[in-house]
Amino acid sequence: MTRFAIPVAIFVALLVLLGVGLKLDPREVPSPLIGKPAPHFELPQLHEAAKTFSERDMLGKVWVLNVWASWCVSCREEHPVLLDLAASGAVPVYGLNYKDKREDGLAWLKGMGDPYKVSIFDFDGRVGIDYGVYGVPETYVIDKKGVIRYKRIGPLTPEIVKSTLLPLVNELDRA
Amino acid sequence: MPRLLAVLLVAFVLPVSAKEAAPAAADPVLEKRVMALSEELRCLVCQNQTLAESNAPLAEDLRNQLREKMREGKSDKEVVDFLVERYGDFVLYRPPLKGTTVLLWFGPLLLLATGFAVLMRRLQRRRAAGGPGVSDAERKRAAELLAGGER
């Protein structure tokens, strides 16, 4: 009986290892930006092209930056969550309209509701690259000093907002 | 017939290759550098492709960024660092050797060494046990068989 103990133990260990591996999401690449200052940008706003918006305008506030696009399918799924978050007033939500056409972006917000205080317009996706965006939607929480504290790749869900995002925002607000 | 073939080749193949080569013609040395470097980098959208192979819009944007940085006179290392700052070590097909990647680099070697050690120990134990034993009864029967005493 003991003859088989070691192979069986190895087999079970392997099974556990592979089982855990199956549950991991390979698309979720840990961002090197967490704990680093939010990269600088100065971009025209979506609604008013003449006005610009910069991450520096938000120093002293905890805020959420959400990367979205009208061509992005998962953004549709995420949109009600953002509307709820914005309506709750817990944290200001800003949008980065990523590689979109201005009229498409505006039409999307008109049709689905606009959770964003301001959306900025990143037509060539350059700011997106600075923020390490590769799978829209992505969401960042930025603290009062302008440091990125959290990044979510993929759509926000009510669970993530409740269990991760809001507690973090509360903690950062108190800091 | 060969002449017709040649004409067809010239008519169909040349324009295509000329079109594909257009961006490279602008600066072949730079283009070669861009392609060589993007072979080493992972496309984050389709993760099993390199930046060179991928047709994803993001890969195209990133290739353009590589090209632009190189044109500004940045070295390959500076360009790679630019991407690692944003996307992490994950963009590198050859991850750097550091604390968190030791297991990745030496894990297979460790497994091989462990397997080899186990094998050696087994063989040694078997040798110590005197190899496959043959009892006296078996010896006798073997001798009988060889002598043709039994059918």
Q: Over the stretch A59-70, which tens digit does the pLDDT of each residue have?
A: 999 999 999 999
Same domain, B92 and B104: no
- Percentage, residues of chain B above pLDDT 70: 79
Chain B CB contacts of A31 under 8 Å are 88
Residue-wise pLDDT tens digits, A136-166: 899 999 999 999 999 998 899 999 999 999 9
> Which residues, 6 or more positions from B34, have their beta carbon under 8 angstroms from its beta carbon?
B63, B66, B67, B70
Q: How far is B118 from chain A (nearest CA, A)?
A: 12
B2 with B64, same domain: the answer is yes
- What single DSSP character describes residue A153? E
CB contact under 8 A, A30 and B84: no
Q: What pLDDT is attached to residue A25?
A: 73
- Between the alpha carbon of residue B133 and those of residues B116, B125, B140, B147, the distances in Å are 25, 14, 14, 22
Residues B10 and B73 in one domain: yes
Residue B139 lies inside a defined structural domain of this protein: no
Q: Residue B60: its pLDDT value, please? A: 87
The pLDDT value given to residue B6: 62
Arithmetic mean of pLDDT, A69-88: 93
Same-domain status, B59 and B43: yes
Determine, yes or no, domain membership for B42: yes
pLDDT at B38 over 70: yes
- Domain map of chain A by residue range? 34-174
Is B87 at the interface with chain A, CB within 8 A? yes
**Residue B103 domain-assigned?**
yes
Q: Are B66 and B79 in contact (CB under 8 A)?
A: yes
The topology (CATH level 3) of A34-174 is: Glutaredoxin (3.40.30)
Going by the DSSP 8-state scheme, the letter that residue A134 receives in this structure is -
CA dihedral B44, B49, B54, B56 (to 10 degrees): -30
DSSP 3-state of A53:
strand
> Would you state the pLDDT for residue B19?
44
Chain A residue closest in CA terms to B88: A32
Check which CATH number belongs to the domain holding B17 and give it.
1.10.8.640
Across the interface, whether the CB atoms of B47 and A26 are under 8 A apart is answered: yes
Helix (H) or strand (E) holding A138, with range, is: strand A138-142
Domain identity same for B106 and B69: no
In a domain, B31, yes or no: yes
The predicted model scores a pTM of 0.72
- Give tens-digit pLDDT for A106-125: 999 999 999 999 999 999 88
Average pLDDT over residues A6-30: 86
Confidence (pLDDT) at A175? 80
pLDDT at B20: 44
For B7-19, what is each residue's pLDDT tens digit? Answer: 555 555 554 444 4
pLDDT tens-digit series, residues B58-84: 888 888 888 888 888 888 888 898 888
Contacts of A135 in chain B (CB under 8 A): 44-45
| Residue B140 forms part of a structural domain | no
Same domain, B126 and B65: no
Number of domains within chain B: 2
Question: B88 vs A27: CB contact, 8 Å cut-off?
Answer: no
Q: Which domain holds residue B121?
A: 97-130
H runs (alpha helix) in chain A: 2-23, 73-88, 102-112, 126-130, 158-160, 166-174
**Both B83 and B109 in a single domain?**
no
Decide if B52 is inside a domain: yes
With H, G, I as helix, E, B as strand and everything else as coil, classify residue A94: strand
Average pLDDT of chain A is 91
Say if residue B51 is in the same domain as residue B9: yes
- Mean residue pLDDT of chain B comes to 80
Contact A99 B84 (CB under 8 A): no
State percent of chain A over pLDDT 70. Answer: 97
Tell me: do B105 and B58 sit in the same domain: no
Same-domain status, B123 and B53: no
- Is the residue at B54 inside a domain? yes
Q: Which helix (H) or strand (E) holds A141?
A: strand A138-142
Of A31, A125, A131, the CB nearest to B61: A125
